Amino acid sequence: MKQTLMTGVALAALTAGVAHAESHLPFTPGEGAFDWDGYNTFADAYELSGQTVEITGPWTGNEKEKVDKVFDYFTEATGATVNYSGSDSFEQDIVISTRAGSAPNLAVFPQPGLAADLASQGMLTPLADGTAEWVAENFAAGPSWVDLGTYAGKDGTDALYGLFYRVDLKSLVWYSPIAFDEGGYDIPETMEELKELTQQIVDDGGTPWCIGLGSGAATGWPATDWVEDLMLRTQTPADYDAWVTNDLKFNDPKVIEAVEEFGWFARNDEFVNGGASAVATTDFRDSPAGLFTIPAECYMHRQASFIPAFFPEGTKAGEDVDFFYFPAYAEKDLGKPVLGAGTLFAITKPSEATTAMIEFLKTPIAHELWMAQGGFLTAHAGVNPDAYADDSQRAQGAILGNATTFRFDASDLMPSEIGAGAFWSGMVDYTTGSDAADVATEIQSRWDAIR
């Protein structure tokens, strides 16, 4: 049933309270830290009863339950039905369905590279004119998100195909607040200060870092994140982009500099728990454990926003562990770059209701509804931070909001033989003693071989 048109929050609360009872929406319209005015304006603009939006994506289980609740509000506002199906083999499924002509209306891509491939084959529909300008103006580091969603179509013309939604944050350093307090250490604001702190902890008799690259067949990937973050802090965004496409060779001195910056942290026995030789063999899931021992075996651990899933049971964010932004070099003047990943919506089968869904995803409330359920970060600058489920998520959202540049995980954008192969193994070789220039040259040779 399409929600009755409303013009004010009070009226919204009154009338939508009935809707809430009828549809079991988890958040009562008109209440909480949500942009209900924007929602009501959206609802006023659409009447789509009888129409259906088919969506497929990578979210399954608990994540599917959360996004389904977001879509419930689209249905409540428009009358259109939303059928979302998540798949662990999304990457294969979407290729098969688009080529067979049986694609859903929308697909949620976790990797821009696959969306770009399908756009080049004419399998995606460009977003409406003006969407790129809207993203540039309404997302933090907006031009970065426009670039990540812009691809060449079948005719070779660039257009915006992807609207980013859920974002993962990688530029984080996790630390023990208790150990920091006992040591009298402050949160570093610059990379220079982070290096000074690293040495200070050693001088005080401690071990500053826990680092682990182990991940089964994917061993080495945590080091690629380090290098990507440091590439963004030592070189320009343009250099980073050129590196991803190999217009900047892997053995260029700029790339080697970033690798050696990682080595400054990881190849010093005094800096790493267990010594440098333990870096390559320690499983990444076990590597933050030293933050929680008494006394602390390490003080800091650089890892993405997902790592709390591997913290000891009962760990309290803000008390037992906290995080800070992996800082930039003051002397480089490259702003506050952020490394991450994310998911983007792209149109695989246009329809009126599909266009409406894209417009819904541009509203703050489409983001706030998942923020409030937890496990969701967004670059949308118009959302209410109070909607985040907890202070930890809110602080991560602030890091995204303050970013001057956002770049996607480079290894996910490179050819898989490099990004999920030679780059991983090369970082293990480097960590265990190989020369950075030799490793970079070997990776470049592999890249040359697959052209």
Convert the pLDDT of each residue in 246-266 to its tens digit: 999 999 999 999 999 999 999
Q: How far apart are the first and last CA of the chain?
A: 54
pLDDT at 23: 55
Q: Which of 432, 424, 244 is nearest to 442 (CA)?
A: 424
Q: How far apart are CA 442 and CA 451, in angstroms?
A: 15
Q: For 81-96, what is each residue's pLDDT tens digit?
A: 999 999 888 988 999 9
* DSSP H or E run through 347: strand 337-347
Confidence of residue 111 (pLDDT cuts 50, 70, 90): confident
Q: Quick one: which of 212, 177, 215 has its CA closest to 292?
A: 177
Q: Is residue 58 pLDDT above 60, yes or no?
A: yes
What torsion, rounded to 10 degrees, do the Cα atoms 64, 67, 73, 74 define?
-100
More confident residue, 345 or 114: 345
- Report CA 376 to chain centroid distance, whole Å: 9
> Quick check: 22 pLDDT over 70?
no
* Per-residue pLDDT band at 416 (split at 50, 70, 90): confident
Residue 280 vs residues 267, 272, 424: alpha-carbon distances, Å:
10, 11, 11
The helix/strand/coil state of 349 is coil
Q: Quickly list H helices, 26-130.
A: 36-45, 61-78, 90-100, 112-120
Instruction: Give me the mean pLDDT over the 102-123 stretch.
Output: 94
Residues present in the chain in total: 451
State residue 403's pLDDT score.
Answer: 93
- Is the pLDDT score of 7 beyond 80? no
Q: What is the CB neighbour count within 10 angstroms for residue 45? A: 12
Note the Cα 344 to chain centre separation in Å.
11
- Write the single-letter amino acid at 111: Q
Residue of 170 and 7 predicted with greater confidence: 170
Mean pLDDT to the nearest integer, 103-131: 95
Pick from 97, 96, 115, 117: nearest CA to 105:
97
Q: Which residues contact 277 (CB under 8 A, 6 or more apart)?
A: 269, 432
pLDDT at 88: 85
What angle (nearest 5°) sits at the alpha carbon of residue 140, between those of residues 61 and 254?
A: 95
CA 399 from centre of chain? 12
**Confidence at 21, pLDDT banded by 50, 70, 90:** very low
**Under DSSP, is residue 251 helix (H, G, I), strand (E, B) or coil?**
coil
pLDDT of residue 451: 83
Amino acid at 49: S
- Between CA 195 and CA 200 the distance in angstroms is 9
Tell me the β-bridge partners of 54.
83
- For tokens 């209701």, name the residue: 353
User: In Å, how far are 78, 88, 367 from 397, measured between CA atoms?
Assistant: 29, 27, 12
Q: Is the pLDDT of residue 110 over 80?
A: yes
pLDDT for 17 equals 42
Q: Looking at per-residue confidence, does 447 or 17 come out higher? A: 447
Q: Is the pLDDT of residue 9 over 70?
A: no
Residue 346, H or E segment = strand 337-347
> Which amino acid is residue 252, in one-letter code?
D
pLDDT (tens digit per residue) in 168-182: 999 999 999 999 999
Q: Give the separation between CA 410 and CA 240, rounded to whole angstroms.
A: 8
Share of the chain above pLDDT 70, in %: 95
pLDDT of residue 309: 85
What is the C-alpha to C-alpha distance for residues 114 and 135, in angstroms, rounded to an integer?
21
Please provide the average confidence, as pLDDT, over all residues in the chain. 93
pLDDT category at 6 given cuts 50, 70, 90 is very low
* Of the candidates 366, 369, 360, the residue with the CA atom closest to the CA atom of residue 45: 360
Separation of CA 135 from chain center:
17
Distance of CA 16 to CAs 1, 372, 418, Å? 12, 19, 52
φ and ψ at residue 101, rounded to 5 degrees? 75, 20
**Distance of alpha carbon 385 from alpha carbon 387, whole angstroms:** 5
Return the closest-CA partner of residue 59 out of 96, 108, 93, 104.
108
